[in-house]
Structure 1
Amino acid sequence: MSRELLQSLITDMVRDSADLLSAEAKDRALDLAVQQYGKDRPASVVTDVTADGGHELDYPAGFDALTCSVQGIEYPLGQMPPSRLTADQWMDYETPSGHVILAGVSFAAGEPVRVTWRQPCQADDIPVRDLEAVAAYAAAVLLDQLAAAKSGDNDLMLTADSVRSGSKGRDYAERAATQRRRYHDLLGIDTKRVEGTSAMVQVASAASDGKTRFWNRRPT
């Protein structure tokens, strides 16, 4: 239902009376907006996975090693404060039957392990309060496309038609910028915040017991 409602909101915001945008273009714009929303408002999923015993643990049902990411692992359960594995205590490990979590601790067979993870956002996952923001982002993508199309229509010769086309292109570009600001304002995102251009490098070091550490890596 959310996807249909979002498409209706997008249509209202763009007001493409000349039908310049195809249904496929609108779908792609919505997909981009949902993807961006997922980055700006990531939602976590918490799943208890029953261990088979040993250092390997299956990923939760529905987990895709290429698109999902593990945020944390708690084991054993029931501790206060909660007993969470540090990032260097586990890693992604590929076996002949697929990807598993390989941990530096041994899980008891039949015991639950709590895995917190993130999965790609879907349109139907977006709460009602944020539908307008997502529609605004998609509208901005489509208005940018209309602005580019109108700018590309201009001829090298200065004619009345080219002037009108250029004006229309600028109008679309301004409306796109407005809708993009609307997205940020509705979600409370400060676009003026500037992050430092630094890089964090994780350097391998020996654990306190002299053994090799586990590193939290993703498949490439």
Structure 2
Amino acid sequence: MYKSIVYCAAFIVFLAFTSAKQGSPQKDWTSLFDGKTLNGWKASDNPATFKVENGTIVVEGPRAHLFYVGPVNNHNFKNFEFKAQVKTTPGSNSGMYFHTEYQDTGWPSKGYEVQVNNTHTDWRKTGSLYAVQDVKEIPAKDNEWFTQHITVQGKKVTIRVNDKVLVEYTEPDTLTRLQDKPGRWISSGTFALQGHDPKSKVYYKDIMVKVLPD
């Protein structure tokens, strides 16, 4: 009888552990960057703006954008969580695009940009949903790693920096600004990292995505 109770207790503990492990919020995170190469990514304009050093994507050079074109979800994301470790340098400017698509040149015409800028002259700072819901106060420091985290669920966009919510935006059904930027709306697409100008040097690592249900 005693052995039966011990076995039952052990089995219950095993089930609880297995259930907790399966329910772990980290389980569904997938890396988009292997830390060694730019496999799965494609650069526009000036590909030399992007290189890999010491497990990071280094962004430095003339305007260019690095689009994810890899196999994860066939590089097409609708509802998701996307996050990366980012490090800016003094005066640098960059950004993360979502719901975008590859184009050979120019600023991406499709999707939204989430700003990466702590001390550049542009007043729209890190965490801004660029020119839609902007952040004026600097949420992170140059030369220090911080986490930028974007969640899109339906028409709601939530942006966090170091786990602090900076932006909560719900896209309205009617967008008058589409006359100026017809591609800027919630839809689906891939991600892109921005190389803004030759004086901007920014680092990215631990680039991850979690696909959310529709």
Common fold: TM-score over 0.5 = no
More strand by proportion, 1 or 2? 2
TM-score, with structure 1 as normaliser: 0.22
More helix by proportion, 1 or 2? 1
TM-score, with structure 2 as normaliser: 0.22
- Compare CA radii of gyration and give the structure with the larger one: 1
